Amino acid sequence: MKRISLFLSTMALTTMFMSVKAGEKQNIPKRTFRNFSGVCHGSINSEPLWKQALGWDRFDVAWASAESTRGKWNQKYIDKISQRILTAKSKGVTFLPIINYSVSWAAECPNQDFEIAGKRFTLKKQPDGRYELRGFNKSFINGKEQWEEVFNRKVSAHRMGTRWLSENHVSDWENYIRKIVSTYRQAPYELEYFQIWNEAWPTSSFWYGNMDSYMTDVHMPAAKIIHELGGKVVYGGWICGAPISELVKYMDKHSAWNSIDVFDLHYFPISSMEYLYRELSKRGLEHKGIWQTEIGFSSDPNYVGNVYPRVLHWALSRDWNWTDKFKFFYFAYSSPNDPKAYGFGRSLLLGKELSHSGRSLQAMAEIFSGGELKLYTSVHSKPCLKPELNEKLSSLESFKVGNKIICAIHMLPANNAKIFVDWNNNMDTIHLDYECPRIKLYFPEITLSEVNSVERISMYGSKIDISKYLRPESNGFSITVPVREPDVKEFQYTDMPESFLPEVFYTVINMKK
C-alpha cells in the first residue's frame, strides 16, 4: 500500500508540475483578442459578440443542483451543463466552469470567532435557524483599545446551506469535484480549466466563516484532484473588498501557490494585476496566469475602451508566453431592457440590443482582429502621451495586429470644463470639446510608401479615412488625428449630459501587404 501511495503521490506531483509549466512549452502562443476576452453567464445561443469579441463563457456548475440529496445525482442538471459546454465548443467558445458552492446536507456551520485583515468577525447560530454575522474594527475609544462593532447582519438558514463546508463532509466535496472534473476533462468536452468556488471571504455572501477553513477544506482538496486529473486550477476570484495582500498572506500561510495555475481577481484596477505579478515574480512564479473573471458591470460608456487596451498593453509587456496567461471576463452578458432589472445598463446586452459597453467591445474586437496581438513601440505623440496603468490618466497604447498598427488614444479631461492637460510635457492645455482639437502621431520607423491608408475609429466603431493628413518627416511620417468624434449623430454633444465625454478613440495604420 505504501508503494502504491508513493506512486500515486509522485504522479500527482508530476501532473501538477506539468500543469503549471505546460504554458511555457508552447512556442506559438495565440494571443488574440477573442481568446483574451470572455464573459460571465453568456447566452451561448444568442448571436451578438460571440464570433469576434468573446471566446470564453464562465458559468456555474452548482453542487446543490447536481447532488441535492447525498449520493443521488441529478443527471438532468448535469446533461444540461454538458449540452451548454458542447454548444459553446461548436461555436469555438471555451467554457470555464465555476465549481461551487456547498449543499445543505454538508454545510452545518459551527459558531465562530476569528480575526482577519485586522478585523474581528463572529458568526453565531440563532434559535430561529438563522445566523448572526457581526464585524468589528479595533478602535481607540475612551482611552483604550477595544473592538467596535461596525455591522450586524442576519444570514438565512437557506443561504448558509450553500456557503459553508463542514469538515466532516470534505470527502463528499472531493467526490463532487472528482465527478465533475473527470467527466469534463474527457471527450467530447475536453475542458482544461476549472474554477474553484467564487469570491470566498467572510462577508462576500458567497462564503461565511474563516478563511483558513476555506483553504484547508475547500480549495486545497479540490485543487489536488483537478491536478491529478490533468486539469488546471483557476482561483475562485479574490473579492475586491479585501486587499490583495491578504490573498498573498493566505497563499504563503497554506503553501498554496503551486495549487493554482491561474490567479483570479474580481473588479480590481489593472495596477492590482501588476501587484500580483510582482508577488509571483518574487517567488519565481511569474509563469502563472493572472485573470479577472469578473470585470466591468459598469454603466460608464467609456469603460471598455478605457480599460481593455491598457490591460492588453500591460499583458504584452509581461511575458505573455502561453496562450491563456492573461484574460478579462466581462460581467455580465445581458440584462433585461428594464430600469428595474438587475444589471440594467451595466451588461453587454440591453435586452436584445448591444449596450454602450457591448458596442465598444464589438468595435474593439473588429479593430484588433486579423492576427496575433503584439506590442508596437515606435510611436510618439504631440501632446505627449505614454502608456499608463492608472485608468484615470490619459494614455497611449500601440499594437501590431497582422498588417495593422493600432493606437488606442485616451485623452481624459482634467476638470469639469473638459480641459486636457499635457502632463508629460509643458502642461499646456487642449479643450476636448471645443472647435477642432487634434493630436499628432509620429511613426519614425515606417515610410509613407509602406502605408495603404489610415483610419480614425471611435470607441463605438464609427470610421473616417484620415489618410489625407499623412505628412512625410525626416524620419518616417506623421498623421494629424481629430480628437472630437466626427459623427455628431452618434454622440449629439449639445444634448449629452455635462459629465459625458468620449475619452477613447483609435488610429489604425493599414499597411500594404
Question: pTM higher than 0.85 for the full model?
Answer: yes
CATH topology for the 376-511 domain: Immunoglobulin-like (2.60.40)
pLDDT value at position 44? Answer: 85
Equal fold, 2-107+167-367 vs 376-511: no
Q: How far is CA 33 from CA 365, 371, 486, in A?
A: 6, 9, 26
The answer to whether 100 and 165 have CB atoms below 8 angstroms apart is: no
Task: Show the CA angle centred on residue 19, arms to residues 30 and 173, nearest 5°.
Answer: 120
Taking the C-alpha atoms of residue 460 and residue 365, their distance in angstroms, rounded to an integer, is 11
Contacts of 39 (CB under 8 A, 6+ apart): 49, 54, 56, 57, 58, 329, 330, 331, 332, 333, 348
pLDDT value at position 498? Answer: 54
Q: Which residues pair with 327 in a beta bridge?
A: 291
Query: For the chain (length 513 residues), average pLDDT per consecutive 10?
Result: 38 39 49 97 90 96 98 97 97 97 97 96 97 96 95 96 97 98 98 98 96 98 98 98 96 98 98 98 98 96 96 97 97 95 94 94 97 97 97 97 98 92 96 91 97 96 95 97 71 50 93 94
Task: Show the CA angle centred on residue 457, arms to residues 452 and 462, nearest 5°.
Answer: 120
**Domain-wise residue ranges, the chain:** 2-107+167-367, 112-155, 376-511
Task: Show the CA angle centred on residue 275, arms to residues 272 and 277, nearest 5°.
Answer: 110
- Of 361, 300, 263, residue with least CA distance to 497: 300
Helices (H) and strands (E) counted in the chain, each on its own, are 13, 27
Cell numbers placing 115: 480575526
The answer to whether 121 and 104 have CB atoms below 8 angstroms apart is: no
The answer to whether 268 and 244 have CB atoms below 8 angstroms apart is: yes
**Cis, peptide link before residue 482, omega less than 30° from 0:** no
CATH class of the region 2-107+167-367: alpha beta
- Of 131, 182, 166, 169, residue with least CA distance to 152: 131
pLDDT value at position 398? Answer: 98
Taking the C-alpha atoms of residue 317 and residue 375, their distance in angstroms, rounded to an integer, is 8
